[in-house]
Structure 1
Amino acid sequence: MQSMTSGGKRVVFFDLETTGFDTTVCDIIQLAAISGDRSFNVFTVPKTAIDRGAAEVTGFSVRDGALFLHGVAMTTVTLHKALTSFISFLWSLEQPVLLAAHNARHFDVPILTRALLRCSLMEQFQQLGSSFLDTLPLSKALYPGLESYKQENLVSRFLRKPYNAHNALGDVTALQELYSCWNPDPRFVIQFSF
């Protein structure tokens, strides 16, 4: 798939899987991103326990200091390494970038920001000059009156196919396809960027 641009910025779709839904305390378990045919995907062992609800949704568990996905041991890196690798991945792309996530403003960005601060990487990240796009309110504005704006439901409605939901790499791949299908006007996209 060709990488997309909006307003002169390369769109990079990203997603986090976390230990829970409370953005003030949950830890990152998986961080994935995609732009065109370039993808990024890392796993990290969280410091906090995985909430039962999050474990049921994602299939992640931690045993004896190792991360498992549906019972399969995953190769992990430290959170610091995950974030520095993510920053390197973003630098490897044509600049500037627009980081897009579904519910970015209220979930992914607060958690990513907290993790970057915790690892003393915020300054490095800010040097990218990236901005964010929240595709959740964008989808509501593009298609008012839908019953649900959950990404799974939007993929089912517009792409008419199932996908590996609640796996960050599956989520970003599906979101890139959705965005391509919608093909929103850049002047419209800027309203939901921050």
Structure 2
Amino acid sequence: MAWQGTIVFFDLQTTGLDTKSCHIVQLGASCKNTIFNATSSPASPSNTSYKVNGLTVSYGQLLLHGSLFPGPVLLAAHNAWGFDQILLMRVLRKFSLSEQFEQVVSGFVDTLPLSRKLHPQLKWFNQPYLVRCFLRGKYNAYNAVDNAKQLEELFWNYWEPYNDVISEFTDWFYALK
């Protein structure tokens, strides 16, 4: 059975690769034709991106243009466990936002090991190779929105994993505590 909840595909552009010290300069996300794009300079993060994409949080609920966002919401990234999840959670803790975040998001899906399980015959599993292989397209390593959209297309149009496979590659917040 296909996943019934909401999966938001995301990518981060950062000032480096060290999850303990780099800064997020772009967060791009894609979910069912809704695009999120937030950029910031490391010294002055933007707090107004919700006005552009319609996403807000009210009483611990994620809203899209004032309506309840369907849940549970999972965040999916390629190499989430090795980079994106670690960095995002560090930043959320730094600004005391992790508790509010966990009221809206139930966990992280890592599509890197998921792609290895679904397509073990492939030579490589990095996202640029997967985009070339399945989408026959080009991968722009420096655009988080494009990366998130391509990952969403790979997931739903080419991989179509079932619930048990998605759960196998998900870090649920209740399991992380």
TM-score normalised by the chain length of structure 1: 0.75
Tell me how far apart the structure 2 counterparts of residues 113 and 40 of structure 1 sit (CA, whole Å).
Answer: 18
Per-residue deviation, 1:161? 1.3
Per-residue deviation, 1:163? 3.8
3-state SS of paired residue (1:91): strand
Moved more, 145-154 or 134-143: 145-154
Match of 2:27 among 28, 31, 34: 31
* Structure 2 partner of 1:91: 62
* Structure 1 partner of 2:116: 140
* Structure 2 partner of 1:10: 6
Deviation string, structure 1 residues 85-116 (Cα, Å, up to 9, x no partner): 89737812212111100000110001000111
Amino acid at match of 2:32: G
Tell me how far apart the structure 1 counterparts of residues 48 and 29 of structure 2 sit (CA, whole Å).
Answer: 12
Deviation string, structure 1 residues 31-84 (Cα, Å, up to 9, x no partner): 11110111110101014xxxxxxxxxxxxxxxxxxxxxxxxxxxxx625x2798
TM-score normalised by the chain length of structure 2: 0.82
Is residue 124 from structure 1 mapped to residue 95 from structure 2 by the alignment? no
Name structure 2 gaps, 5 residues minimum: 64-68, 172-177
Per-residue deviation, 1:18? 0.4
Tell me how far apart the structure 2 counterparts of residues 143 and 136 of structure 1 sit (CA, whole Å).
Answer: 11
Match of 1:179 among 155, 161, 166: 155
Name structure 1 gaps, 5 residues minimum: 48-76
* Structure 2 partner of 1:149: 125
Per-residue deviation, 1:122? 1.0
Deviation string, structure 1 residues 149-188 (Cα, Å, up to 9, x no partner): 1101101001111143331001001001100121111111
8 Å Cα contact 2:113-2:169 kept in structure 1: yes
* Structure 1 partner of 2:146: 170
Tell me how far apart the structure 2 counterparts of residues 149 and 107 of structure 1 sit (CA, whole Å).
Answer: 15
Moved beyond 4 Å, runs of 4+:
82-87
* Structure 2 partner of 1:193: 170
* Structure 2 partner of 1:78: 45
Match of 1:100 among 65, 76, 89: 76
Tell me how far apart the structure 2 counterparts of residues 112 and 16 of structure 1 sit (CA, whole Å).
Answer: 9
Tell me how far apart the structure 2 counterparts of residues 157 and 104 of structure 1 sit (CA, whole Å).
Answer: 21
3-state SS of paired residue (2:116): helix
* Structure 2 partner of 1:19: 15
8 Å Cα contact 1:44-1:82 kept in structure 2: no
Instruction: Count the aligned residue pairs.
Output: 159
What is the identity percentage for the equivalent residue pairs of Structure 1 and Structure 2?
A: 42
12 and 37 in structure 1: CA distance in 2 versus 1, 3 angstrom threshold: same
